[in-house]
């Protein structure tokens, strides 16, 4: 299955059969109480343009339409908990759920997940750390997100140790050439850069997560041929990570701009696209 669905996620996932997915990754809104928007521009050659580039050529910039969504909830936990309960229902017996949050809500959602899954099903708190962006002068800069990993059954779950992407040793001469060549496994703190502004990976979606982050999760916590679910799909990073590693995907988002970005991004993989009131899936 390779499918993109435009729908309100709770209504849609409630129709899916129980125990259908071995891996669910969720990157819900963070309740920043801001409107999320990423500015997008295009450079156009223009002899009268105000900007000068390589070789003395001049150009002007044109602002493009950008995805926008409000990120404000009066009761964020009340919004998310019914969706987490559905995620529990949809996981296979050896399945895992990853919920990606930041410092604003992670502690409330951790308590809620303990109640839904049971405290023994909590396996890891993973810190995604990055060193990018502005630095306020009135507090320590917030440069990490938190991923909560819960297993449906803490006694048996998918963890493909050999599929972990290894990282360099900080002191390779100390460990010797053999270990240095192999690299070491990451800890529960993952140092990965955000998607850079000028990267080919950039889609223009305001809260896009890096492909390398999702590929690590997909390879280690699922098997080739299985289907990964993401019902806050946004820019479709989960889908690309799944497809690049021989998995299927089901991506759900109610934002038409997100659906259009995913349609373009995942076109090489030929997904089925389902939108409201369409008589047939969109090719």
Q: Which of 16, 45, 71 is the last residue of a domain?
A: 71
Question: Which of 41-50, 142-151, 170-179 shows the lowest per-residue confidence on average (mean pLDDT)?
Answer: 41-50
Cβ(258)–Cβ(232) under 8 Å?
no
Task: Give 53's contacts (C-beta < 8 A, 6+ positions apart).
Answer: 43, 59
CA distances from 176 to 46, 91, 166 (A): 56, 42, 16
191 within domain boundaries? yes
233 in the same domain as 119: yes
Number of domains in the chain: 2
Q: In what order do the strands lie in the sheet with 2-6?
A: 189-191, 122-129, 144-151, 91-101, 21-26, 227-230, 248-253, 2-6, 272-274
59 in the same domain as 185: no
3-state secondary structure of 177: helix
The pLDDT assigned to 205 comes to: 84
47 within domain boundaries? yes
Is residue 39 pLDDT above 50, yes or no?
no
99 in the same domain as 182: yes
The residue whose two tokens read 């946004």 is 234
Domain residue limits at 47: 37-71
What value does the mean pLDDT take over residues 153-162? 97
50 in the same domain as 110: no
Polymer length in residues for the chain: 283
């Amino acid at each position: 299955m390779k499918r993109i669905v435009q729908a309100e996620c709770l209504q849609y996932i409630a129709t899916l059969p129980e125990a259908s997915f071995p891996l669910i990754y969720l990157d819900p809104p963070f309740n920043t109480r801001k409107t999320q928007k990423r500015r997008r521009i295009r450079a156009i050659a223009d002899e009268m343009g105000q900007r000068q580039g390589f070789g003395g050529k001049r150009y002007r910039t044109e602002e493009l339409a950008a995805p926008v969504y409000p990120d404000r909830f009066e009761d964020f936990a009340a919004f998310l908990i019914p969706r987490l309960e559905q995620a529990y229902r949809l996981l296979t017996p050896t399945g895992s759920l990853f919920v990606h949050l930041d410092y604003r809500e992670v502690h409330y959602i951790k308590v809620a997940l303990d109640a839904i899954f049971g405290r023994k099903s909590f396996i890891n708190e993973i810190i995604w750390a990055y060193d990018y962006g502005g630095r306020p002068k009135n507090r320590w800069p917030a440069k990490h997100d938190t991923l909560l990993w819960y297993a449906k059954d803490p006694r048996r779950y998918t963890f493909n140790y050999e599929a972990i992407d290894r990282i360099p040793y900080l002191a390779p001469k100390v460990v010797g050439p053999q270990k240095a060549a192999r690299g070491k496994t990451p800890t529960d703190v993952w140092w990965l850069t955000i998607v850079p502004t000028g990267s080919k990976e950039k889609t223009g979606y305001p809260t896009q997560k890096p492909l390398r982050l999702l590929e690590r999760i997909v390879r280690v916590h699922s098997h080739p041929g299985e289907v990964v679910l993401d019902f806050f799909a946004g820019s479709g990073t989960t889908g690309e990570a799944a497809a690049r590693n021989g998995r299927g995907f089901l991506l759900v988002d109610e934002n038409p701009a997100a659906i259009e970005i995913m349609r373009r991004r995942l076109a090489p993989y030929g997904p089925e696209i389902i939108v409201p009131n369409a008589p047939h899936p969109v090719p």
